[in-house]
A = this chain, B = another copy of it.
Amino acid sequence: MTGSLVIAGLGPGNDALITPEVQAALDRATDIVGYIPYVERVAERPGLTLHPSDNRVEIDRSCHALEMASEGKHVVVVSSGDPGVFAMAAAVFEAVENGEPDWRDLDIQVLPGITAMLAASAACGAPLGHDFCAINLSDNLKPWSLIEKRLRLAAEADFAMAFYNPRSKSRPEGFEKALKTLQDACGDARPIIFARNVSRPDQRINVVPLTKATPDMADMRTVVLLGSSRTRIIERNGAPFVYTPRSVEGE
């Protein structure tokens, strides 16, 4: 019996954002592996075993999934958003590279999903409508100095920016430092967008000038988008639209 491993993105929370490709993989699976709240999104059924695990055990979880696939199971590792954006796909390939030689020849597929920054962007207009970058603000896995360097270079490049994992209880000071760096490097009142629980019924979008942003506006359920120097706000009855124009005039 030949097993398989699929690393699938469930999107940011609303089931109407799960692609039919991912749904078909879930329907075929014998085993679902992932972080507890993501595994909870998969419906139980006969013949399906759920293997929820805690945060920060990504490599152990990957090895477990690879072992089960080697044994002939049809395993789906579930991620929130897109599995290739600050999620499980890189962890699984790290486990493949450092693990059993025959894991390399397993049937491994990554199925894309709607990543949080694109759902957040859609929810307020098109702030990522021109060149942009995506930065994970967690310093669990990289030094703070590298984050700060990237923020300054991204501001110099005048990218719009998306920030994942802005703030956690264990790193309350990180996002404060990031905001100060951005306020200093950008030097203007461009819009910053705090998108919490994006695509869920309790979604909350808060658009403020960068100069007025404070660390408490974000938590671990928030993705943060920052405009470029050219990002525009369209005032209207109700929440404003925010967008970054497609064109930059010649110099």
Contacts and interface: CB of A to CB of B under 8 A. Distances in A.
Interface of A: 11, 14-21, 24, 58, 82-86, 89-94, 96-97, 104-105, 108-115, 118-119, 121-123, 125-136, 141-143, 145-146, 149-150, 153-154, 156-159, 232, 234-238, 241, 243-251
Contact of A126 (B14, B15, B89, B130): B89
A97 B19 contact: no
Given A118-B85, A131-B150, A136-B130, A18 B19 contact: yes
Contacts of A150: 131, 157-159
Number of copies: 2
Contacts of A159: 133, 150
Given A90-B243, A122-B112, A142-B247, A133 B130 contact: no
25 contacts: A11-B19, A14-B21, A16-B20, A17-B112, A82-B122, A86-B246, A93-B241, A94-B243, A96-B234, A96-B241, A105-B236, A105-B238, A110-B121, A131-B133, A132-B133, A132-B134, A133-B134, A133-B157, A142-B248, A143-B251, A145-B251, A146-B248, A150-B158, A153-B156, A157-B157
B129 A89 contact: yes
A84 B131 contact: no
A208 B171 CA distance: 39
A107 to B, nearest CB: 10
Given A19-B114, A142-B247, 18 more contacts: A16-B20, A17-B19, A84-B128, A85-B118, A90-B245, A105-B236, A110-B122, A112-B118, A112-B119, A115-B118, A131-B134, A131-B135, A133-B133, A133-B154, A133-B157, A133-B159, A143-B250, A150-B159
B142 A243 contact: no
Nearest to A157: B153
Nearest to A111: B122
Interface residues of chain A: helix, strand, loop or mixed (majority): mixed
A125 B19 contact: no
Given A16-B24, A19-B18, A118-B82, A125 B153 contact: no
A102 B75 CA distance: 51
